[in-house]
Amino acid sequence: MIIRIIIILVCVTFFINGCNSLISQFFGSHKLRVSDYELAAKEGIGDADFIELENTYLSGDFVYQESEYPNTPGVIIYPLLTAEQAKKREQGQKVSPSFIAWTADFHAPCVEENNCIDSGMKSIKGVVREVPKDRQEGIQKLESLGYDVGEVNFINDGQEPVLWYWNALTMLIAAGIAVGLEAYYNRKNKHEDQVA
Protein backbone atom coordinates (compact mmCIF):
# COMPACT_ATOMS: atom_id res chain seq x y z
CA MET A 1 0.00 0.00 0.00
CA ILE A 2 2.79 2.46 0.90
CA ILE A 3 4.66 1.72 -2.35
CA ARG A 4 1.44 2.35 -4.30
CA ILE A 5 0.97 5.74 -2.59
CA ILE A 6 4.62 6.70 -3.20
CA ILE A 7 4.35 5.80 -6.90
CA ILE A 8 1.12 7.82 -7.23
CA LEU A 9 2.73 10.83 -5.49
CA VAL A 10 5.78 10.64 -7.78
CA CYS A 11 3.48 10.47 -10.83
CA VAL A 12 1.47 13.47 -9.59
CA THR A 13 4.72 15.41 -9.05
CA PHE A 14 5.93 14.64 -12.59
CA PHE A 15 2.50 15.49 -14.02
CA ILE A 16 2.39 18.86 -12.23
CA ASN A 17 5.99 19.67 -13.22
CA GLY A 18 5.29 18.86 -16.89
CA CYS A 19 2.05 20.86 -16.81
CA ASN A 20 3.76 23.85 -15.17
CA SER A 21 6.60 23.81 -17.70
CA LEU A 22 4.17 23.48 -20.61
CA ILE A 23 2.09 26.45 -19.45
CA SER A 24 5.23 28.53 -18.75
CA GLN A 25 6.57 27.78 -22.21
CA PHE A 26 3.55 29.23 -23.98
CA PHE A 27 2.31 31.87 -21.56
CA GLY A 28 4.92 32.47 -18.87
CA SER A 29 8.57 32.75 -18.07
CA HIS A 30 9.83 30.08 -20.54
CA LYS A 31 8.55 32.11 -23.51
CA LEU A 32 11.38 33.84 -25.41
CA ARG A 33 11.71 37.50 -24.46
CA VAL A 34 13.84 39.72 -26.67
CA SER A 35 15.40 42.89 -25.30
CA ASP A 36 18.10 45.39 -26.12
CA TYR A 37 21.07 44.74 -23.83
CA GLU A 38 21.28 48.30 -22.48
CA LEU A 39 17.55 48.29 -21.63
CA ALA A 40 17.84 44.92 -19.89
CA ALA A 41 20.91 46.12 -17.97
CA LYS A 42 18.99 49.19 -16.70
CA GLU A 43 15.53 47.70 -16.10
CA GLY A 44 16.30 44.04 -15.45
CA ILE A 45 14.67 40.99 -17.00
CA GLY A 46 11.88 40.32 -14.50
CA ASP A 47 10.90 36.65 -14.27
CA ALA A 48 12.16 35.73 -17.75
CA ASP A 49 13.81 32.32 -18.01
CA PHE A 50 14.58 32.40 -21.74
CA ILE A 51 15.94 35.62 -23.23
CA GLU A 52 17.69 37.08 -26.23
CA LEU A 53 19.82 40.15 -25.64
CA GLU A 54 20.43 42.20 -28.77
CA ASN A 55 23.27 44.69 -29.29
CA THR A 56 25.49 42.99 -26.72
CA TYR A 57 29.19 43.77 -26.79
CA LEU A 58 31.78 41.08 -26.20
CA SER A 59 35.29 42.11 -25.23
CA GLY A 60 36.81 38.77 -26.23
CA ASP A 61 37.74 38.09 -22.59
CA PHE A 62 36.76 34.74 -21.14
CA VAL A 63 37.85 32.27 -18.49
CA TYR A 64 37.83 28.50 -18.66
CA GLN A 65 36.79 26.53 -15.60
CA GLU A 66 37.13 22.80 -15.29
CA SER A 67 34.62 20.75 -13.34
CA GLU A 68 35.51 19.22 -9.99
CA TYR A 69 34.01 15.96 -11.23
CA PRO A 70 35.54 13.64 -13.84
CA ASN A 71 33.65 13.20 -17.12
CA THR A 72 31.86 16.53 -16.61
CA PRO A 73 32.74 19.18 -19.19
CA GLY A 74 34.35 22.46 -18.29
CA VAL A 75 32.76 25.77 -19.17
CA ILE A 76 33.85 29.09 -20.58
CA ILE A 77 32.52 32.15 -18.79
CA TYR A 78 32.47 35.59 -20.39
CA PRO A 79 31.09 39.04 -19.60
CA LEU A 80 28.39 40.76 -21.64
CA LEU A 81 28.84 44.52 -21.95
CA THR A 82 27.09 47.70 -23.00
CA ALA A 83 28.70 49.94 -25.64
CA GLU A 84 29.95 52.28 -22.91
CA GLN A 85 31.46 49.41 -20.90
CA ALA A 86 33.15 48.05 -24.03
CA LYS A 87 34.84 51.44 -24.57
CA LYS A 88 36.00 51.52 -20.94
CA ARG A 89 37.46 48.03 -21.28
CA GLU A 90 39.37 49.11 -24.38
CA GLN A 91 40.88 51.87 -22.23
CA GLY A 92 41.81 49.32 -19.55
CA GLN A 93 39.19 50.44 -17.02
CA LYS A 94 37.35 48.05 -14.70
CA VAL A 95 33.64 47.54 -15.47
CA SER A 96 30.68 45.84 -13.77
CA PRO A 97 28.70 43.72 -16.25
CA SER A 98 25.00 43.16 -15.59
CA PHE A 99 25.07 39.82 -17.38
CA ILE A 100 27.63 37.04 -17.62
CA ALA A 101 27.26 34.26 -20.17
CA TRP A 102 28.60 30.74 -19.93
CA THR A 103 28.58 27.63 -22.07
CA ALA A 104 29.93 24.10 -22.11
CA ASP A 105 29.49 24.01 -25.90
CA PHE A 106 32.78 25.21 -27.38
CA HIS A 107 35.69 23.93 -29.45
CA ALA A 108 38.25 22.77 -26.85
CA PRO A 109 41.45 23.98 -28.63
CA CYS A 110 40.17 27.58 -28.42
CA VAL A 111 41.07 27.64 -24.71
CA GLU A 112 44.79 27.19 -25.41
CA GLU A 113 44.60 29.45 -28.46
CA ASN A 114 42.76 32.07 -26.35
CA ASN A 115 40.15 32.72 -29.04
CA CYS A 116 36.91 31.13 -27.77
CA ILE A 117 35.06 34.46 -27.82
CA ASP A 118 35.32 36.94 -30.68
CA SER A 119 35.11 40.58 -29.68
CA GLY A 120 32.37 42.73 -31.17
CA MET A 121 28.60 43.14 -31.10
CA LYS A 122 26.40 40.06 -31.00
CA SER A 123 22.96 38.81 -29.93
CA ILE A 124 23.06 36.37 -27.01
CA LYS A 125 20.20 33.91 -26.65
CA GLY A 126 19.88 31.43 -23.81
CA VAL A 127 18.35 30.24 -20.58
CA VAL A 128 18.79 32.31 -17.42
CA ARG A 129 20.70 29.85 -15.26
CA GLU A 130 23.52 29.97 -12.72
CA VAL A 131 26.90 28.53 -13.56
CA PRO A 132 26.98 24.98 -12.10
CA LYS A 133 28.27 25.00 -8.51
CA ASP A 134 31.29 22.86 -9.28
CA ARG A 135 32.47 25.43 -11.85
CA GLN A 136 31.62 28.73 -10.12
CA GLU A 137 35.27 29.34 -9.25
CA GLY A 138 35.62 30.65 -12.80
CA ILE A 139 33.41 33.63 -11.95
CA GLN A 140 36.07 34.90 -9.52
CA LYS A 141 38.68 34.55 -12.25
CA LEU A 142 36.89 37.30 -14.19
CA GLU A 143 37.87 39.70 -11.40
CA SER A 144 41.53 39.24 -12.34
CA LEU A 145 40.70 40.25 -15.93
CA GLY A 146 39.32 43.63 -14.83
CA TYR A 147 35.65 42.92 -14.19
CA ASP A 148 33.80 43.77 -11.02
CA VAL A 149 31.49 40.78 -10.61
CA GLY A 150 28.78 41.83 -8.20
CA GLU A 151 25.09 41.13 -8.60
CA VAL A 152 24.68 39.73 -12.11
CA ASN A 153 22.34 37.55 -14.15
CA PHE A 154 23.86 34.43 -15.69
CA ILE A 155 22.86 33.18 -19.12
CA ASN A 156 23.57 29.69 -20.40
CA ASP A 157 24.34 30.82 -23.94
CA GLY A 158 22.83 28.71 -26.72
CA GLN A 159 20.53 26.70 -24.42
CA GLU A 160 16.75 26.60 -24.79
CA PRO A 161 14.03 25.34 -22.44
CA VAL A 162 12.91 21.74 -22.81
CA LEU A 163 10.76 21.43 -25.94
CA TRP A 164 7.00 21.44 -25.32
CA TYR A 165 6.42 17.88 -26.53
CA TRP A 166 8.83 16.48 -23.91
CA ASN A 167 6.79 18.21 -21.21
CA ALA A 168 3.59 16.83 -22.72
CA LEU A 169 5.15 13.35 -22.88
CA THR A 170 6.16 13.60 -19.22
CA MET A 171 2.56 14.41 -18.32
CA LEU A 172 1.17 11.55 -20.42
CA ILE A 173 3.59 8.97 -19.01
CA ALA A 174 2.95 10.07 -15.43
CA ALA A 175 -0.83 9.98 -15.95
CA GLY A 176 -0.59 6.62 -17.73
CA ILE A 177 1.40 5.02 -14.90
CA ALA A 178 -0.92 6.41 -12.21
CA VAL A 179 -4.13 5.36 -14.03
CA GLY A 180 -2.64 1.97 -14.97
CA LEU A 181 -1.55 1.30 -11.40
CA GLU A 182 -4.98 2.19 -10.00
CA ALA A 183 -6.72 0.04 -12.64
CA TYR A 184 -4.45 -2.89 -11.79
CA TYR A 185 -5.20 -2.63 -8.05
CA ASN A 186 -8.95 -2.23 -8.68
CA ARG A 187 -8.99 -5.38 -10.86
CA LYS A 188 -6.93 -7.24 -8.27
CA ASN A 189 -9.32 -6.24 -5.46
CA LYS A 190 -12.38 -7.26 -7.53
CA HIS A 191 -10.80 -10.61 -8.31
CA GLU A 192 -10.00 -11.21 -4.62
CA ASP A 193 -13.59 -10.28 -3.65
CA GLN A 194 -15.00 -12.72 -6.21
CA VAL A 195 -12.72 -15.53 -5.00
CA ALA A 196 -13.73 -14.86 -1.38
* pLDDT at site 146: 82
Give the H/E segment covering residue 55. strand 50-58
Distance of CA 126 to the CA centre of its chain: 7
Please tell me whether residue 106 adopts helix, strand or coil conformation. coil
* Structure confidence at residue 79 (pLDDT): 92
Torsion angle of alpha carbons 104, 109, 113, 118, nearest 10°? Answer: -40
Question: What pLDDT was estimated at residue 80?
Answer: 92
Cβ burial 35-53 (10 Å sphere, 16+ → b, else e): bebbebbeeebeebbbbbb
d(C-alpha 53, C-alpha 51), whole Å: 6
The pTM of this model reads 0.71
- The closest of 55, 54, 51, 106 to 78, measured between CA atoms, is 106
Residues of the chain with pLDDT under 50: none
